[in-house]
Amino acid sequence: MIIGIPKEIKESEHRVGMTPSGVQALIQNGHAVYVQNSAGQGSGHSDDDYLSVGAKLLKNIEEVYDISEMIIKVKEPLKSEYSLIKEGQIIYTYFHFASSLELTNAMVDSKSICIAYETVENYDRSLPLLTPMSEVAGRMAAQQGAKFLEKHQKGCGILLGGVPGVSPAKAIVLGGGVVGTQSAKMLAGLGADVTILDISLDRLRELDDIMPKNVKTKFSNQYNIKQEIQNAHLVIGAVLIAGAKAPNLITKNMLKDLRKGTVLVDVAVDQGGCFETTKPTTHSSPTYIIDDVLHYSVANMPGAVPMTSTEALTNATIAYAVEIANKGWKKACNENEPLKKGLNIINGDIVYKAVAEAFDLNYTELNI
């Protein structure tokens, strides 16, 4: 199979779809890999690194899309890429369709094969290709929250861990999955007073066993969320429903109950956000203020630490990429049920129910 790795063009996105080690694995399996010039530079991988493992370099993104049967990316195609995608071409990347009707319609119109990292799902319901970036984003959420609590950043001016004789900041984490767990670990390590809310009692019991003493657990419902956020300095939104739009757990009306300078970090922004007032921001302009509450909702948080996140992503995606390339997407998906769940759009049909439901579009039962 001919595989292409274009340079990411989303603002402040420094990751690349595959490290040289991943490219080497594909080439060792008999496939040809074309990498756009300087695609890996932001992640610390030079063109020579790719050439040394047998990849071929192409000058521009148009050439990469034109020659390739499968495109391996990090982020969803942007508007300038829509016309480059060919019918039947495999696009293997994070799509997060439920947050963008425009993207969904564009991929339907392209009649491509859209395999979304975020909906590949193991039998235990874990998300193997989303997990590494969720780990990065969860840890970054705590870092960014700590930074934007500073007064000159328009936060309330509190140190997360406090000091002897001064109380630490109160941090609320909505969701006890991968993002929430990683956020809570980092916040706890910085000395914050942390509360995690989740709707699963089994998960809360697990967290109660493994978390340090400064992390408490609480069942998540509208009443408890409203009570907890009133005294919070930092709230991290870490709620995920695979492939679907995130629920709004904090409404605009609830902002009036928050302290002035409270920081909201919405890691669920890729799926529409779990705060009603969330809108996607960028690393160059990451925050905005509504009702004296600072919002941070950068849609590609792990892009700021590409040396870590590109390697972590390739570690997770390469095995599936090799399987798709070796067998073709149909055979690979039929023989690998977790991978099959990554199919979102095929030849103009939406085959992932949550995507169709997000925009009330026609859903086609998967039959391959």
Rounded to two decimals, the pTM is 0.90
Low-confidence ranges of the chain (pLDDT < 50): none
Q: Where are the domains of the chain?
A: 2-120+306-359, 132-304
Select the CATH number that applies to the domain covering 2-120+306-359 from these four: 3.40.50.300, 3.40.50.720, 3.20.20.70, 3.50.50.60.
Answer: 3.40.50.720
Q: Which residues are catalytic?
A: 96, 270
| Res 270: pLDDT | 87
| Res 246: pLDDT | 87
The count of other CB atoms within 10 Å of the CB of residue 331 is: 13
Query: Could you tell me which residues come within 8 angstroms of residue 108 by beta carbon, excluding any fewer than 6 positions away?
Result: 345, 348, 349, 350
User: Cα angle at 45 between 42 and 51, to 5 degrees?
Assistant: 135
For residue 305, the 8-state DSSP code is S
| Res 368: pLDDT | 87
State whether residue 329 is helix, strand or coil.
helix
The count of other CB atoms within 10 Å of the CB of residue 83 is: 12
**32-36/56-58 β-pairing:** parallel
- Provide DSSP, 34-71: EEETTTTGGGT--HHHHHHTT-EEESSHHHHHHH-SEE
Domain 132-304 part of CATH 3.90.1150.10: no
| Res 208: pLDDT | 97
Q: Does 2-120+306-359 match 132-304 in CATH topology?
A: yes
